[in-house]
Amino acid sequence: MTAQRIDGNALSRQLRTSVAERVSALKTRGITPGLAVVLVGDNPASQVYVRNKVKACEDTGMHSVLEKYETAMTEAELLARIEALNNDPTIHGILVQLPLPAHMDAHMVIETISPAKDVDGFHVASAGALMVGQPGFWPCTPYGCMKMLESIGYNLRGKHAVVIGRSNIVGKPMALMLLQQNATVTICHSATPDLKAMTLQADVIVAAVGKRNVLTADMVKPGAVVLDVGMNRNDEGKLCGDVDFDGVSQVASYITPVPGGVGPMTITMLMVNTLESAERCLSAT
């Protein structure tokens, strides 16, 4: 079997076109969705991420504000900036780029963002809403994975999904979203004794670990759908995922590449969340 690729770039383009249309419609009703991106420090990867997020806002017609601060900024100063953005009616989404400098408590910073503007979906209120199936903002990366499954018309009901990784931003919310769609879900992590025994049972595998070749062809049931969230560098310094792409492609029915898979979907879902935040504002008035 040679797996079909789920093309995250193509799906993103399609979704962003629809976001841009909805943004135009909102503008005719006097609201321009606005995203504030806050970056503290000079982490080079973070600089690239925030640039891409601001560019995505421009491409979809949204308003964006990029606030860049020196590493020396105090936590109190950052919290005050977030409070100001919470109260700014032109801003519908607030994103604080992680990681933050070591002298800041990232949890405290995220908890200061108003849940109504938590478009990254990292606030405890957002996590709780996902847990109990109430409206809120879903974390963008697992949300993007769900859109990829939707794009191939995959029905999760009665399927066994195995999520490798249990972080608060990917693994755990991913498992909850799959559960909400009636999959039977297994979460694996570094203390799972026999990962292969788990993945071989899976109809859907989501790899979110951050280590190359965590998933190889011998660990995949023929016909399984494989989503690769990982972002690593290979020996040549090129971006690669957690999955042995060439090997697993011979066994799986669908697979996401790295790059060009889950990565672009993450920013796309940030645009969707920001748009929906603005739409909720309108329906609340």
- Residues belonging to the active site: 53, 97, 120
Residue 38 in the binding site for ligand NAP (CB under 6 A): no
Total residues at the site for ligand NAP (CB under 6 A)? 26
CA 156 vs. chain centroid, Å, equals: 19
Residue 180 in the binding site for ligand NAP (CB under 6 A): no
Residue 191 in the binding site for ligand NAP (CB under 6 A): yes
Residue 97 in the binding site for ligand NAP (CB under 6 A): no
Residue 188 in the binding site for ligand NAP (CB under 6 A): yes
231 vs 281, beta carbon nearer ligand NAP: 231
The C-alpha angle with vertex 7 and arms to 4 and 13, in degrees rounded to 5, equals: 150
Among 34, 121, 171, 257, binds ligand NAP (CB under 6 A): 171
Binders in 199-238 for ligand NAP, by CB under 6 A = 208-211, 214, 229-232
Give the bridge partners for 198, in sequence order: none
30 vs 193, beta carbon nearer ligand NAP: 193
Residue 266 in the binding site for ligand NAP (CB under 6 A): yes
Taking the C-alpha atoms of residue 137 and residue 148, their distance in angstroms, rounded to an integer, is 18
Helix (H, G, I), strand (E, B) or coil at 64: strand
Residues 6+ positions from 143 with CB-CB distance below 8 Å: 121, 177, 269, 272, 273
Taking the C-alpha atoms of residue 72 and residue 96, their distance in angstroms, rounded to an integer, is 16
Residue 166 in the binding site for ligand NAP (CB under 6 A): yes
Taking the complex as a whole, how short is the minimal distance between the CB of residue 223 and ligand NAP, in angstroms? 23
Among 14, 167, 216, 250, binds ligand NAP (CB under 6 A): 167
Among 170, 240, 248, 270, binds ligand NAP (CB under 6 A): 170
Sheet holding 160-164, edge to edge: 4-5, 254-255, 225-228, 204-207, 160-164, 184-188
27 vs 211, beta carbon nearer ligand NAP: 211
Among 149, 164, 198, 227, binds ligand NAP (CB under 6 A): 164
Residue 262 in the binding site for ligand NAP (CB under 6 A): yes
Cβ(196)–Cβ(186) under 8 Å? no
CA 204 vs. chain centroid, Å, equals: 18
Taking the complex as a whole, how short is the minimal distance between the CB of residue 264 and ligand NAP, in angstroms? 8
Burial class (CB in 10 A: 0-12, 13-18, 19+), 102: exposed
Please report where in the chains the tokens 């100063």 appear, as a residue.
Answer: 77
Among 13, 55, 103, 189, binds ligand NAP (CB under 6 A): 189
Please report where in the chains the tokens 């997020």 appear, as a residue.
Answer: 53
Residues of this chain that interact with ligand NAP (CB under 6 A) are 141, 164-167, 169-171, 188-192, 195, 208-211, 214, 229-232, 262-263, 266
